[in-house]
Structure 1
Amino acid sequence: MKPKNYFPADENELVNVQAGLTRKVAAYNDNVMCAEVRFEAGTVAALHSHRHEQITYVISGKFEFKVGEETYVVSAGDSLYKQPDIVHGATCLEAGTLLDIFTPHREDFV
């Protein structure tokens, strides 16, 4: 089977994850996934962990992230790395958008 190389934005569904938080999966294959995550100010992504490595790039807005025992306040242009199984979560301080990269891809997102 030939891998898919192009993922038009209008073909990817915007999913309401919780009040104030939506997600749109972008390009992915078995090994890697890209997702756009939009937050309204005040929205909290509860502390959680998963088996995937994750990089978060802040496109816009301002967020307070808890990653393991550390807390970071991040804004546009900043990025975070989360190793597998580390507990992490975020509070949106100013409405914004994140780009999340996972390896391997998140089966629960597709």
Structure 2
Amino acid sequence: MTVKNYFPGNENKLFDAGGGLTRKVAAHNDNVMCVEVHFETGTVAARHHHPHEQITYVISGKFEFTVGDETYVIGAGDSLYKQPNIEHGATCLEAGTLLDIFTPHREDFL
């Protein structure tokens, strides 16, 4: 199997997930995936869960995140860890961009 090491940004398509949320899958393999996620102000990512571990890093904007029973207001430079199967969701308070890292990769995003 050939491992892909380079993922040019201009080759990655922006996917419209609806409701003011778009995402672009960046580097990934079977074990890990990097995803750029763009939110418009007021966009809500409904509470959900999945079997993947996830780290979210805020590149820009301001967000209210709920992870399990805790709620956080976070901005540029802040990050969150979400363990597998924990319920989480977000509301975008100021338009911005997140960088999500998943392990293993999200097959449903490919």
Partners of 2:23 and 2:64 in 1: CA distance: 19
Write the mapping of 1:87-98 to structure 2, written as runs, cut at 5 A: 87-98=87-98
Query: What residue number does 1:68 align with?
Result: 68
CA RMSD, aligned part only?
A: 0.4
Structure 1 letter corresponding to 2:23: R
Write the mapping of 1:37-48 to structure 2, written as runs, cut at 5 A: 37-48=37-48
Query: What residue number does 1:107 align with?
Result: 107
Deviation per CA, 1:83-104, whole angstroms, max 9, x where unpaired? 0000000000000000000000
In the TM superposition, structure 1's runs of 4+ consecutive aligned residues that sit over 3 Å from their partners are none
Partners of 1:104 and 1:13 in 2: CA distance: 21
TM-score, normalized by length of structure 1?
A: 0.99
TM-score, normalized by length of structure 2?
A: 0.99
Partners of 1:65 and 1:72 in 2: CA distance: 5
Query: What residue number does 1:10 align with?
Result: 10
Partners of 2:91 and 2:19 in 1: CA distance: 13
Deviation at 1:18, TM superposition (A): 1.2
Partners of 2:57 and 2:72 in 1: CA distance: 13
Unaligned runs of 5+ in 1: none
Write the mapping of 1:17-28 to structure 2, written as runs, cut at 5 A: 17-28=17-28
Unaligned runs of 5+ in 2: none
Partners of 2:19 and 2:64 in 1: CA distance: 18
**Count of aligned pairs between the two proteins:** 110
Deviation at 1:19, TM superposition (A): 1.9
Deviation at 1:27, TM superposition (A): 0.1
